[in-house]
Structure 1
Amino acid sequence: MFRLAIEQDFETIREIYTYTVKKLAPSLYSPSQVIAWSSFPDNISKFHDFIFNANTYLLLKNNQIIGFCGLENDGHIASFYLHPDFTRQGYGTKLLLYVLDIGIKKGITRFYTEASFFSQPVFSRCGFTIFAMETVNYGDISFERYKMEIITQQENYS
């Protein structure tokens, strides 16, 4: 089941974000990168804007939030996180395809994102291609990530 995030979901979303980064990132990122990345939700105001300045869709299983994906009006996928207990089971693909379908129905024809090393395979499976690498900073810690996009033809992805 999918639905839009509401204020009452904020703490759960923060927990999923932090836990996901702490659990999955150590296999691909340095300890200092994991600490910097996982601490982003500690800035309540910025994290709130990150979630609610986009249309953030939740994936629920047994009425529990297991993932979220934020879509901005210009086609930017602002967030994409799945609780680690549900990775590699097709849930991430279902969530991303659901959000793409909503965007297509709104007339968006180009979707783009900045994907981490561990989210890039899901974006690729859903048709995104890498068009650049970029380096970003969380404080004084730098990260590389993939800039990815998909151009659609108003087709239905669900």
Structure 2
Amino acid sequence: MIQIRPATLEDSLEITSLFRDTVTHINKKHYSEKQINAWASSADDQEEWKKRIDKYYFIIAEIESNMVGFAYLKNGNYLDGLFVHKDYQRQGIGSKLLRIIESQVMMTDFEILKSDVSKTALPFFDNNYFEVIKKQKKTHKGVIFENYLVEKTL
């Protein structure tokens, strides 16, 4: 049974650990080692993660009190992150997090949910009726990444 709850500042270490593990294990089939290392190093900035938890709509998915995923919404309708633990992929966790995010967006009177998604995550978003607006190249810590701007009308 997947439980969803708001994130707290005390969750930040577990969130960053889940983020790092997911990026390094799940995304390696679509990104180089250099790209993965740059992306995963974002977990090092605990203060930035605490700001996200404090400032954004940030939710945690748990199974039997174990964190198995998280998602957060920025600026009312921008999904800035959705990550599922590497050992809990394809069990409905991402879909449940996404449904709650979508509900939150609609409750705040936005009609469109947007996100920048990785090559790895694109099939998930495609299966959840997001449209690719454009393929793009982004630079993170001096490393170029290819990803996609997607959106969904709610």
Instruction: Give the TM-score taking structure 2 as reference length.
Output: 0.92
Deviation per CA, 1:16-63: give whole Å up to 9, x if none: 000001111111110100110011111223333344432111111111
Contact 1:50-1:78 at 8 Å conserved across structures: no
Instruction: Give the corresponding residue for 1:110.
Output: 112
- Residues 9-88 of structure 1 mapped to structure 2, 5 A cutoff: 9-88=11-90
Distance in 1 between residues matched to 2:104 and 2:76, nearest whole Å: 13
36-45 vs 101-110, which deviates more? 101-110
Instruction: Give the corresponding residue for 1:134.
Output: 136
Contact 1:40-1:47 at 8 Å conserved across structures: no
Q: Which amino acid aligns with 2:17?
A: E
Instruction: Give the corresponding residue for 1:5.
Output: 7
Q: Which amino acid aligns with 1:74?
A: G
Instruction: Give the corresponding residue for 1:156.
Output: none
**Are 1:101 and 2:112 counterparts?**
no
Q: For residue 148 of structure 1, give the secondary structure of its aligned residue in structure 2.
A: strand
Distance in 2 between residues matched to 1:51 and 1:141, nearest whole Å: 26
CA RMSD of aligned residues (A): 1.4
Deviation per CA, 1:104-126: give whole Å up to 9, x if none: 12222111000011111222222
Deviation per CA, 1:90-111: give whole Å up to 9, x if none: 2211211121112212222111
Q: How many percent identity over aligned positions?
A: 23
- How many residues were matched structurally? 152
Q: Which amino acid aligns with 1:100?
A: E
Q: Which amino acid aligns with 1:47?
A: W
Q: For residue 59 of structure 1, give the secondary structure of its aligned residue in structure 2.
A: strand
Contact 1:109-1:151 at 8 Å conserved across structures: yes
- Flag structure 2 segments of 5+ consecutive residues without an equivalent: none
Contact 1:24-1:84 at 8 Å conserved across structures: yes
Deviation per CA, 1:121-157: give whole Å up to 9, x if none: 22222211100112111222110111000111xxxxx
Q: Which amino acid aligns with 2:105?
A: G
